[in-house]
Structures are given as structure tokens and as C-alpha cells.
Amino acid sequence: MPQRISSTMLRAPGRRGLLLLLTLALLAMGLGVGSFSLAQASPCTNVLTNGGFESDAGWTLETQGNYSLLSDYLAHSGLRAAYLAGTDNAVDSVSTTLALPAGDQNISLHFWWQIFTEETGGGYDGLTVQVLDSAGNPLKMLFSVGDLNAVDTWQQASLDLSEFAGQTIQLKFQGQSDSSLTSDFFVDDVEVTACDMSQLTNRIFLPFTSR
Amino acid sequence: MTNQHASTDASTDVFPNVFQRVRPWLFFLAFAAILFVGYTATNLEASPAQSTVPPIALKTRLTGPIDSTSPTEWVVAGITVHITADTRIDERARQSTIPGGWARVIGQGDGQGGLIAARIKILPPKHFVGLRGPLDELTDTAVVVDGISVARTVTTKILGDPQPGQDRVDIRAAIQIDGSLLALRVKKVGPPDDFDDGQRDRTELKGVVQEMTDGPGVWTISGVPVTVTDTTQIKHRVGPIMVGSWVEVEGRGDGQGGLTAREIKSIPMQRRHKLQGPLTELTDTTVVVDGIPVDLSPDVRIKGDPQPGQKVEVKAILQPDGSMLAFEVKQEGRDDDDRPGHEVKFGGIIESMPATGFDGVWVISGREVNVVEGLTEIDEHKGPAEVGARVEVEAIREADGALTALEIEVKKDGDTDENDHGRRYVEFKGTVESLPAGGLIGAWVVDGRTVEVSQHTRIKQENGPIVVGSRVEVEGWKLEDGTIQARKIESKDGNNDDEDHGAKVEFTGHIVSFPQDLIGEWTIDDETVIATEATLFKQKDGPFEVGALVQVKGVRQNDGAVLAFTIKTESGE
């Protein structure tokens, strides 16, 4: 009896069955199998440590004020975040030096930010993300928001750093304010992911793992 | 009655004779000639723009008492003011009692020591006469502004090293017994620039810096060549300006497809690139704004009916080659506010003011307004004019687009007790009732409220060290239990009656002993000095060590010890 049933099941579907099996296989790859394979040999690495600002390790903190730039007021995750400005005439920054991998790399900067402000007009205080060379010379402004962008929730930014592959750069988050009506800039959970594109191109199920 | 009849009879006698002697076609010619002359005269009056008489420039401003008035000439502070058909006189001038009143005259010099008035406004009496305009001459005995001479003596204060022929000055003057003016103060108010002619709209570009030079040179911003000169003002508003920065450029077309920048300032990132200015040309493929060409997208939206000369706004994206591709061209509405000489009225919050006095640039809800002492009326009946105060502004648009305030009226005191600032953000002023033992970190009580102060709290003691009894302003987040998590605490000026800070002291002495981590009790000569986390330590003239000479600034507490505000090493020489 079991043999009969099995035989019927195998025989009855014919081409339809094969089509069904193929569809199921493709779906499985799309839903999980593919990504599982990718996770096993991920070509992406986070080249930045302590992006959560839980300590000052790896970061250079610069302020003209007499206060800490790592704060437990607001944190996107963990206990602390970088807290820049928050007082008049502030120029506060946290920066780190990164040696970005060379080759066919897709390098991205991801971080979370939030702004409180007392400004009402806009455009007086700002948070910027700058790329400097290892000697501190400016290379590119990656990101700039101002007091007009103040919102009461954390926002994520993702920026492309691929053009700096193979270079040693300084990544600098700077908050600055003018002489009145302060703004508070918070930055947390900074990641710099470098993905080796040469590894990714060998995988035939890439279209299904790109989600 | 009889005479009138006689006269009428006489005229009826004369006209038939004339009609009899002159042929009708001559009457027709004369009638046509009268019509032509009348038409021409009417057109000249109705179209001043076509007249050969140039408009009156708004470069000089005089504020002073009205000595006399007539339909064609006023005398203000002894200076002749010419009234023309184009002079706009404050409506109040016609209604109110002019004798004893003051006037503000804006116009240009007549070359003979007088002013041709473009605008006149009646003001309440002031303390001083004011004169502002281009400096022609500055000698030991006279200051000449736009042809108007004001006496100068050794007591006249000259501020800012103004240069004749280059700078504009603001003069505060007094009327002498003989009616002439004596300059009390001459202050440079900024050099005139190429943009001061007021004849053209300015052009603005919001875009990304693609190339830039360290000093003067040609930058590329969203594909537009932008010439930066020695006089270009570079403002690092929201951050430093570098390649990749979003900036706003204000300037004018250079006639070669680029822009000469008067000001460049960094701005937050934008979604679209924008170019605003007078339309030069609009074709099927290109829009040219102030001489700057921008490619049109095939799907471009044209809003309104923009005509050459009118102000337009172009919204664009960047093409792969870095140039702009316009997807919208919008005719800007005619905005009288932008026209030089027009009054602008708006309300807002004072965001910043000069550090001392009123004279200078205020920022009111994002708009910069020049306040000129003796010219701007500040009405503080409803509250003090201070940062945070809500005000209404009446200003005049200068030729360079700047706003000069004529009146600023405080509408409401901006010192709010609490406000909603995202999270439950509060700010209040109060008296410190208690402080943590041994420092400033910990729980404070300010006017009965518990205030949590951490190492992250910005503590400002510029107006004096904070001790029990100090008046402070607290800002922070209010927690559910009512505790205030302080973000900023600032000591307030100690001149209020309810303040008792103790005596401020400042002395120099040698260190006898001091704590290893600097925080705690020091002995300097025979004084006990308490240093806290808020104490500022400066060791520029050597490290702290026993025997080192230091200067201490602080406040003497009830127990005789000095709570240090700063401790710094001295060279000992």
C-alpha cells in the first residue's frame, strides 16, 4: 500500500510536478536558503569598532567646552551616544581613523542621529559628517543637517564611502552651534561596512539574496 | 450781476469774429497739437521708468528734528531736504503735528550738502541726530557723508577705521548752538560692494560644492562656475564648507554663464538644486537665469508665464556630468518686499541680538535685521527686547537686499516658564536651595524642584559661580517623577535684589597644598580654596605644584573658604 501510494504520487504529477518542485525550490532559496548561504560566508565586515560610543575607545573627542561628548541622555542602543553641541558657540566633534580595504569594495557608512533645537529660524546650527585624509585635510562632506531637521525620533543615514577604498581616512562627526539658541546633536550606532564585491559576483542566487 | 451779464455779452461778441477770421482747418490743427502735447505729458508722468531722470538712490539716511517744511523743501537738522514727485512721505506726516517732530529721510545727496528725499517718515523725538551713508571725506575737522558735512572734533569717536570712498558710516551727531551738526561718533558700517546699486535682483544658487579653491578663485557648485573674490563672505553656518557641502550662494551673474558670489554659506542637505534669479531666456531646451544656462528636462514643468526679466525659481537634479537638469521653472510672484526702498513688515522671535546695546544685527525668526541706534525705534512697552521675545518688525529693504529696522515692537515677553520641546523639555529660572556635598554633580534643589546634574550637564558660570542662593536658569528634560534632568544650567547676573552670592574674590598666591586630582580643598598662601568639577584649571604658565604661583578667581563662602571659579598658574614675573 505505501509503495502504491508513493508510486502514484511520483507518476501522477508528471511535468506539472516537476514545475511545482522547481517553483518550491526557487521559493525556498528566496526565503531563506540563499540568505543562509550568504550568512555563512558573508563578504561584508564592519571595519569600525565601538560605533555605539559606549566608551571613548577608538574615538578622538574634541570640544571647546568643559563637558563630556559621550552621553547617557539619549542612546539609540546601549547606554551612550555621542552628544555634540548643546551649548552656544560649540564646535564639538568625534572622529576616528579607518583603514578601508582596497579592491572591489562596496563600503557604506551607517549611523543614527537625532537633533533637538531651540532655534526657530533654521540653518544656524548643524551636524556634519566629514571625510578627512589621515593628515586631517578635508576630502569630502558626506552629510549635513541643521536645526531645521530637528525631529523627535532617531533617523538613520546610510552613505557611500566606496570612493575611499584602500585609503586611510578620518571620519569626523561634527556638531556646531551659533551664539544663541542651542541645538543638541546625538549620534549613535555608527557602522562602516565593507563588502567585497568580487566574492558576491560568484553566487548564482544573488537576485534572491538581495532583499 | 449787471457786470457779469455785460462780460458774457462781450465774449459772445468776440468769438463770432474769430470764427469768421480763422479757417476751420487751423482750429483742427491747433486742437490736434493740444491733444498731442497733453498725451505726451501724461505718458511721461505715468511712466517714470521711461523718464531720463534716474530714480533716487537709497544710500543716505538722515534722522533729525524737522526745522521747517514746504511742498518742495524740508529742513531737517539744518540740512535741506528736497521733496520731489517721487518722494514718499509717511502718511502720518500729513495728519500729525509736525512741529517738534523728528523725521527720518532716506535718499541721496544733492551734491550741495543737501538730500533728495526718496522717503520720509515721522518719528518721535530722539536724543541724537543720525546720518548714515557713504563716507566721502574724513578730516580732523569734518566728516562728509554723501556730500553732507558734519563737524568733527578731537572728542569725536571714530570706530572701525572707515575709509573715504570705500566705506559707509553711521554718524551720531548733536546739534550745536549755531544749528550745525557735530559728530559724536562715526562708525563704519560695512564697505559698499558691487551689489549695492539696487538695480538688479540678486541671484541665489543652492547646490553642492564640486570643486573649490582655498582662497579667491573659481568654484564649481552644481555645475555652475562661481567666482569667489576677496570680498565674498564665507559662512560656515551648519558646518565647514568643503567638497560635497551643500551651500547657498548669493551673488549675480558674471555675464559668462557663471555667478560672482557675494556670500556663500553652508546649509543642510537639500533634495533639489535650486537657482533663483532674473530670467534671461527660456527656450525649449534651456532656461537661462541671470546668464546662467540650465538644461531643461523633456518633462520640465513650467509654472506661470515667466518672461525675461522676471524672477524665476529653477528646481533641478544633477546630471551624470555634474551639471543641473531643470525639472521645474516657476515664475516667482512679484514680491514688493524685494524691491529696494519698500517697507517690510513681519513678526517673529528674536533669536539673537548684539552682545551689548541694540545697535547691530538682530536675527528675528531667521531674518537678519540691522538695528541702527537713533534710527530704529525699539518699543518695549510690552516687555523687554531680548532673545526669545516676540516682536513685530517694520523695516526697509536696502539696495543690497538687507533689512534696516525702522521699528521693532515687543509683543510679548518670551521668557516662558515651560515649553514643550520634543520630549518634556522645560526651562525655568530659580534660586539654588541646595547643592550636592563636595561638588556640583548630583541632585540640586532649585526653587523646590529636584534637578539632577550629571557630568553631561553644561554648566555655565560666566555670570558668577553657582553656590547656594545663586540665581540660575535650568534647562532639561522633566522626568515622570517631576525631577528635572538638567541639560544646561546657567548662572544669571547677580544684580537682582534676591541674589546673594557672597563677595567675589580674586587673588594671587602660592600653592601650599592641593588635591592630586585637583578637585577638593586647596591651600593657597593662607586661603582655603575649594575646587569643584566646574572649576576651570589653566596651567599655561607651568603645572600645578606646591610653591607654584597661581591666580584664583571665585567667591567667598560663609565659612570663609573661596569657591574657585578659575585657578591658573602665573609666570611669577
For residue B297, what pLDDT is reported? 93
Give which of A80, A141, A163, A174 to mutate to test B binding, by max B Cβ within 10 Å.
A141
CB contact under 8 A, B243 and A130: no
B455 CB neighbours in chain A (<8 A) are 67-68
Q: Mean of the per-residue pLDDT values for chain A?
A: 81
Which amino acid, residue B451?
Answer: V
Q: Would you state the cell numbers that stand for residue A74, as one nine-digit string?
A: 539619549
One fold for B337-414 and B420-497: yes
pLDDT score, position A1 = 36
Section A147-155 average pLDDT: 85
Asked if the Cβ–Cβ distance from B366 to A142 is below 8 Å, we say: no
Q: Which of B129, B145, B146, B144 is nearest to B65 (CA)?
A: B129
Give, in order, the Cα–Cα distances in Å from B2 to each of A142, B8, B120, B377.
98, 10, 52, 64
Q: Which of B246, B348, B477 sits opposite A144 (nearest CB)?
A: B246
Among the CATH numbers 2.40.50.140, 3.20.20.70, 3.30.160.100, 1.10.1660.10, which is that of B337-414? 2.40.50.140
CB contact (8 A) between residue B240 and residue A138: yes
Q: How far is B540 from chain A (nearest CA, A)?
A: 16
Q: Domain ranges in chain B? A: 1-51, 56-189, 203-331, 337-414, 420-497, 501-573
Q: State whether B454 and A86 contact (CB < 8 Å).
A: no
Task: Give the model's pLDDT for residue B392.
Answer: 83
Question: In this structure, what DSSP letter does residue A56 have?
Answer: S
A206: pLDDT strictly greater than 70: no
Question: Is any Cβ of chain A less than 8 angstroms from the Cβ of B346?
Answer: no
Taking the Cβ of residue B40 and every Cβ of chain A, the question of whether any pair is shorter than 8 Å is answered with no
**Least confident among A108-117, A128-137, B537-546:** B537-546
Contact B262, B297 (CB under 8 A): no
CA-nearest residue to A132 within chain B is: B242
Does the distance separating the beta carbons of A184 and B268 come in below 8 Å? Answer: no
Under a CB-based contact definition with an 8 Å cutoff, are residues B129 and B151 in contact?
Answer: no
Stretches in chain B below the pLDDT threshold 70: 1-58, 90-100, 123-127, 160, 189-201, 333-343, 374, 380-383, 411-425, 480, 493-504, 558, 572-573
**Which residues, numbered 386 to 425 in chain B, qualify as contacts with chain A under a Cβ-Cβ cut-off of 8 Å?**
387, 421-423, 425
Taking the C-alpha atoms of residue A195 and residue A203, their distance in angstroms, rounded to an integer, is 14
Shortest Cα–Cα distance, A55 to chain B (Å): 14
Q: Which residue of B has its CA nearest to A153?
A: B422
Query: Cα–Cα distance between A151 and A172 in angstroms, integer?
Result: 22
Q: Which residue has the cell 551624470?
A: B320
The string of pLDDT tens digits covering residues A35-72 is: 444 444 578 999 999 999 999 999 999 998 888 899 88
Distance CA B573, CA B569 (A): 12
What whole-number distance in Å separates Cα of residue B489 and Cα of residue A186?
19
Indicate if the pLDDT at residue A3 is higher than 70. Answer: no
How many CB atoms are located within 10 Å of the residue B154 CB? 6
Q: Is B365 on the interface with A (CB under 8 A)?
A: yes
Among A10-14, A95-99, B3-7, B154-158, name the most confident range. A95-99
Pick A87's closest partner by Cβ from B422, B458, B477: B458
Architecture of domain B420-497: Beta Barrel (2.40)
Compute the nearest-CA separation of A12 from chain B (Å).
56
For B344, the grid coordinates are 517690510
Q: Do A146 and B240 touch (CB under 8 A)?
A: no
Q: With 0.95 as the threshold, say if the pTM is over it.
A: no
CB contact under 8 Å between B269 and A143, yes or no, is: yes
Q: Which grid coordinates are listed for B362?
A: 538682530
Residue pair B16/B22 in contact (Cβ under 8 Å)? The answer is: no
How high is the ipTM of this complex?
0.71
For residues B426 and B478, is the Cβ–Cβ distance under 8 A?
Answer: yes
| Residue with the larger pLDDT of the pair B92 and A200 | A200
Using CA coordinates, name the residue in chain B closest to A145.
Answer: B268
Chain A positions touching B265 (Cβ under 8 A) are: 123
**Which residue, among A144, A180, A182, would best test binding to B if mutated, counting the most B CBs under 10 Å from its CB?**
A144
Find the chain A residues whose C-beta atoms sit closer than 8 A to any C-beta of B. Answer: 65-68, 71-73, 83, 86-87, 116, 118-128, 130, 138-146, 148-150, 152, 174, 176, 178-182, 184
CA-closest candidate to residue B331, choices B293, B270, B278: B278
Q: Considering CB atoms only, which of B245, B485, B487 is closest to A144?
A: B245
- How many A×B Cβ pairs under 8 Å? 123
Which residues face A98 on adjacent strands? Answer: A169
Record: contact B488-A86, CB cut-off 8 A: yes
Instruction: For residue A33, give the DSSP letter.
Output: I
Q: Is B452 helix (H, G, I), strand (E, B) or coil?
A: strand
Does any CB of chain A come closer than 8 Å to the CB of residue B151? no
Using DSSP bridges, classify how beta strands B449-453 and B442-446 pair: parallel, antiparallel or unpaired: antiparallel
> Could A144 and B487 be called an inter-chain contact, meaning their C-beta atoms sit closer than 8 Å?
no
Q: What is the pLDDT of residue B220?
A: 96
Share of chain A above pLDDT 70, in %: 73
Alpha-carbon distances of B55 from B60, B196, B398, rounded to whole Å: 14, 14, 14
Please report, as a single letter, which amino acid is at residue B110: D
Q: Residue A32 has what pLDDT?
A: 44
Tell which CATH classification among 2.60.40.10, 3.40.640.10, 3.30.470.10, 2.40.50.320 matches the domain B501-573.
2.40.50.320
State whether A116 and B422 contact (CB < 8 Å): yes
**Inter-chain touch A121–B238, beta carbons under 8 Å:** no
Instruction: Report the distance separating Cα B394 and Cα B377, nearest Å.
Output: 10
The residues, any chain, with a CB within 8 Å of residue B334's CB and separated by 6 or more, are none
Contact flag B269-A119 (C-beta cutoff 8 Å):
no
Q: Is the pLDDT of residue A82 over 90?
A: yes
